[in-house]
């Protein structure tokens, strides 16, 4: 293998960038990464979705002798990626389960003959002894491990085959490895370093800020019509993705939007591969199509002009939220990340977590991730500051391009009300849902209240000065912020975090807008 001399390396890299891709310059840290990897070094690249990770291994693969081997879990996209490269004159191919045996042979021969610049390989294919033997005989320039967070059990995309990629440093210790991901929390990062033996390798961390995305979160009231108002008002005729939790709500939403004149197609794992492909193709090729989808949609989708990403249900974590919203505005033009959420969402997601079969430790980590997301939802501060802080990045000034910056919410000291709500929960025995607790607070003599004798409690009716929506808002925020937790049958109970509040040692400040009917807030905004 010939070493690339550093003096002419930059010139050659730029020449390739220009000649093959038609781009004038590298973006941000791309140049440093290309230099490092082309010179034979390892690297960890943390770059947000749309940041331009591909060039970080494609250009070095072209600069170095031999073939760049790209490990990617995105089988569905390999063909498109390879076709696009070929169109630019790059000798690219892929190996995955969609190829016939003769096709596999052909690719293998091309690899051995040194006739490939880039070879995309699915992880399960890479791990086959046949493939590993082949790679030992072939001229390999480097290994690029794309979507490297898939090695981590802590991430939301754990793939067991990725966990076995330690075979690369073991069998090919002298070949450069570049791991790339858009998911950057500390645990995931540590796992990547461990599995791929990248300790001591330089880490290239780009800013996660996506200044062109406007972040907004609203209370869920009439989600579908809120969504329709949003699309009609701000994104008529635009391409967008609407994320829903269940397959059923995906179907409902797509059907409903279409009936309202906003053309939408469904996408979820329950559809046939053919239907999914058609939806994906249409989304990529048509101008203003909306996809209603579960999280199954989007990994690796590279459509530059997605103008909005809407969440009708709460994502599971801040990472999930960031990745999903990050599919908007890859072209750098103004785009919107819009979400609605309500108490039922908080309760549902918490319950799903509690009921999962994951080991306790994993559950705790997941609960922490959800907490971070809920804090983000309830914040009265700049959302971008909260979001970036989660990824370890400090944004000095409020961004001016999120709902809290654009319409600063009034903050209300609700310490007394929070105490009332908490004591209603506790006095009714830490086991009733929000509806019953609200009845008690409002002093409603429902059948259930009377049967349980809850009309005799000192907290009965103490909250009559506010309405139902107000108490729902308080209970949601207490739950979001971890003072209450939801158990079986959505029953709420107070946690240790509630104690300082009850003792009057802590304040509870909440956004006023989440406690008032939407119409009132709208009027005030005018």
- The residues binding ligand ADP (CB under 6 A) are 23, 26-27, 30, 47, 49-55, 302, 304, 330
Closest CA to 53 of 24, 33, 38: 33
Q: Where are the alpha helices (DSSP H) in 394-503?
A: 403-406, 415-427, 434-442, 447-452, 468-480, 499-502
If one asks whether residue 402 binds Zn ion (CB under 5 A), the answer comes out as yes
Site for Zn ion contains 198 (CB under 5 A): no
Q: Which does 189 bind (CB under 5 to 8 A by kind): ligand ADP, Zn ion, none?
A: none
Partner whose binding site includes residue 49, from Zn ion, ligand ADP, none (CB under 5 to 8 Å by kind): ligand ADP
Task: Please identify the residue of the shown chain whose CB is closest to the bound ligand ADP.
Answer: 52
State the nearest-atom distance from the C-beta of 375 to Zn ion, in Å: 15
Nearest distance from C-beta of residue 33 to ligand ADP, angstroms:
11
**From the list ligand ADP, Zn ion, none, which binds 51 (C-beta under 5 to 8 Å, kind-based)?**
ligand ADP
Distance (Å, whole) CA 437 – CA 357: 30
The pair of structure tokens assigned to 356 is 């999962």
Beta carbons of 370 and 349 less than 8 angstroms apart: yes
What is the DSSP pairing of strand 411-413 with strand 509-511? antiparallel
41 contact partners, CB below 8 Å, separation of at least 6: 176, 201, 202
384 binds, among Zn ion, ligand ADP, none (CB under 5 to 8 A by kind): Zn ion
Residue 421 contact among ligand ADP, Zn ion, none, beta carbon within 5 to 8 Å by kind: none
Nearest residue (CB) to ligand ADP, 47 versus 69? 47
Q: 410 touches which of ligand ADP, Zn ion, none (CB within 5 to 8 A by kind)?
A: none
443, two tokens? 């002093």
Interaction pattern, residues 59-78, with Zn ion; x per rule: CB under 5 A: --------------------
Q: Shortest CA distance to 156 belongs to which of 317, 45, 299, 348?
A: 317
The answer to the question of residue 45 lying near Zn ion (CB under 5 A) is no
- Write down the least CB distance from residue 219 to Zn ion, Å: 19
Tell me which of Zn ion, ligand ADP, none is bound by residue 405, counting a contact when its beta carbon lies within the kind-specific cut-off of 5 to 8 angstroms.
Zn ion
**What sign does the CA torsion over 495, 497, 499, 504 have?**
negative
Integer Cα distance of 45 and 36 in angstroms: 11
376 contact, one of ligand ADP, Zn ion, none, CB 5-8 Å limit per kind: none
Quick one: 149 or 330, whose CB is closer to ligand ADP?
Answer: 330
**Order of all β-strands in the sheet with 92-95:** 92-95, 118-121, 67-71, 140-145, 177-181, 43-46, 203-205
Distance CA 488, CA 490 (A): 5
SS3 145: strand
Cβ of residue 163: shortest distance to ligand ADP, in angstroms?
22
Indicate the angle between helix axes 30-38 and 54-63, nearest 10 degrees. Answer: 40
Beta carbon nearer to ligand ADP, 26 or 432: 26
339: β partners: 217, 311
**Residue from the set 37, 318, 399, 414 that interacts with Zn ion by CB under 5 A:** 399
From the number of C-beta atoms within 10 Å of its C-beta (0-12, 13-18, 19+), residue 293 rates as: buried
The distance of closest approach from Cβ of residue 6 to ligand ADP in the complex, given in angstroms and rounded to an integer, is 20
Rounded to a whole number of angstroms, the minimum distance from the CB of residue 47 to ligand ADP is 5
CA 208 to chain centre: 12
Between 31 and 399, name the residue whose CB sits nearer to Zn ion.
Answer: 399
Q: Are strands 43-46 and 118-121 parallel, antiparallel or unpaired?
A: unpaired
Strand partners, 143: 69, 177
The contact mask relative to Zn ion for 365-394 (x = CB under 5 A, - = no) is: -----------------x-x----------
Pick 302 or 371: Cβ nearer ligand ADP: 302
- Collect all residues with Cβ–Cβ distance below 8 Å to 131 and sequence separation of at least 6: 95, 121, 125
- The angle at the Cα of 56, spanning 53 to 58, to the nearest 5 degrees, equals 105
In sequence order, the β-bridge partners of residue 203 are: 44
Output 50 or 223, the one with its CB closest to ligand ADP: 50
| Residues binding Zn ion: number (CB under 5 A) | 6
Among residues 52, 72, 51, which one has the least CA distance to residue 143? Answer: 72
Residue 382: which of Zn ion, ligand ADP, none does it interact with, CB under 5 to 8 A by kind? Zn ion
3-state secondary structure of 393: coil
Considering the complex, state which of residue 52 and residue 223 has its C-beta at the smaller distance from ligand ADP: 52
Q: Given the complex with ligand ADP, which of 330 and 454 has the nearer CB atom?
A: 330
317 backbone φψ class: left, alpha, beta (φ>0; ψ -120 to 50): beta
Minimum distance, C-beta of residue 381 to Zn ion, in the bound complex (Å): 8
Nearer to ligand ADP, 26 or 508 (CB): 26
CB of 409 to Zn ion, least distance (A): 12
Tell me which of 293, 386, 405, 424 binds Zn ion, using CB under 5 A.
405
Decide whether 161 or 302 has the Cβ nearer to ligand ADP.
302
Nearest approach, Cβ of 26 to ligand ADP (angstroms)?
A: 5
- Which of ligand ADP, Zn ion, none sits in contact with 23, Cβ below 5 to 8 A by type? ligand ADP
Distance from C-alpha of 304 to C-alpha of 285, rounded to nearest angstrom: 11
In the complex with ligand ADP, the residue whose CB is nearer, 252 or 302, is 302
If contact means CB under 5 to 8 A according to the sort of partner, which of Zn ion, ligand ADP, none does residue 316 touch?
none
C-alpha 236/C-alpha 325 separation (Å) is 19
CB of 70 to ligand ADP, least distance (A): 11
By the criterion CB under 5 A, which residues form the site for Zn ion? 382, 384, 398-399, 402, 405
């Amino acid at each position: 293998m010939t070493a690339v001399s550093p003096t002419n390396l930059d010139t050659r890299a730029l020449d390739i960038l220009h000649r093959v891709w038609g781009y004038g310059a590298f973006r941000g840290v791309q140049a440093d990464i290309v230099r490092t990897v082309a010179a034979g070094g390892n690297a960890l690249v943390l770059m947000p979705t749309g940041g331009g990770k591909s060039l970080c291994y494609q250009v070095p693969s072209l600069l170095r002798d031999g073939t760049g081997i790209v490990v990617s879990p995105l089988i569905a996209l390999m063909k498109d990626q390879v076709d696009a490269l070929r169109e630019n004159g790059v000798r690219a191919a892929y190996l995955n389960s969609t190829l016939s045996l003769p096709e596999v042979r052909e690719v293998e021969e091309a690899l051995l003959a040194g006739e490939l610049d880039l070879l995309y390989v699915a992880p399960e294919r890479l791990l086959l002894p046949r493939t590993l033997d082949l790679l030992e005989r072939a001229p390999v320039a480097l290994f690029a491990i794309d979507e490297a967070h898939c090695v981590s059990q802590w991430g939301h995309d754990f793939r067991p085959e990725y966990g076995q990629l330690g075979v690369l440093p073991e069998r090919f210790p002298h070949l450069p490895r570049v791991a790339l991901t858009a998911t950057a929390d500390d645990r995931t990062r540590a796992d990547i370093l461990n599995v791929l033996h990248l300790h001591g390798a330089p880490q290239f961390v780009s800013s996660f800020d996506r200044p062109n995305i406007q972040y907004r979160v609203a209370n869920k009231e009439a989600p579908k019509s809120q969504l329709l108002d949003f699309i009609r008002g701000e994104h008529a005729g635009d391409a967008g993705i609407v994320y829903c939790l269940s397959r059923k709500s995906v179907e409902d939403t797509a059907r409903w939007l279409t009936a309202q004149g906003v053309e939408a197609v469904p996408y979820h794992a329950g559809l046939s591969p053919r239907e999914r492909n058609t939806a994906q193709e249409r989304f990529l090729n048509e101008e203003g199509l909306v996809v209603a989808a579960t999280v199954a949609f989007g990994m690796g989708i590279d459509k530059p002009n997605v103008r909005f990403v809407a969440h009708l249900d709460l994502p599971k974590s801040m990472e999930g939220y960031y990745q999903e919203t990050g599919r908007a505005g890859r072209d750098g033009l103004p785009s919107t990340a819009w979400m609605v959420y309500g108490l039922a969402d908080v309760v549902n997601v918490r319950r799903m977590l509690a009921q999962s079969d994951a080991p306790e430790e994993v559950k705790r980590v997941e609960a922490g991730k959800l907490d971070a997301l809920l804090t983000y939802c309830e914040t009265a501060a700049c959302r971008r500051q909260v979001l970036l802080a989660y990824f370890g990045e400090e944004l000095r000034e409020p961004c001016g391009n999120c709902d809290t910056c654009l319409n600063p919410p009034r903050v209300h000291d609700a310490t007394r009300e929070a105490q009332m709500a908490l004591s209603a929960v506790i006095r009714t025995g830490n086991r009733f849902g929000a509806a019953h607790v609200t009845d008690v607070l409002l002093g409603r003599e429902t059948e259930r209240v009377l049967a349980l004798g809850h009309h005799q409690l000192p907290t009965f009716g103490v909250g009559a000065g506010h309405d139902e929506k107000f108490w729902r808002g308080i209970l949601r925020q207490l739950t979001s912020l971890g003072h209450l937790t939801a158990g079986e049958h959505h029953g709420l109970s107070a946690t240790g975090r509630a104690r300082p509040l009850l003792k009057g040692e802590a304040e509870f400040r909440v956004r006023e807008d989440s406690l008032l009917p939407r119409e009132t807030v709208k009027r005030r905004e005018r």
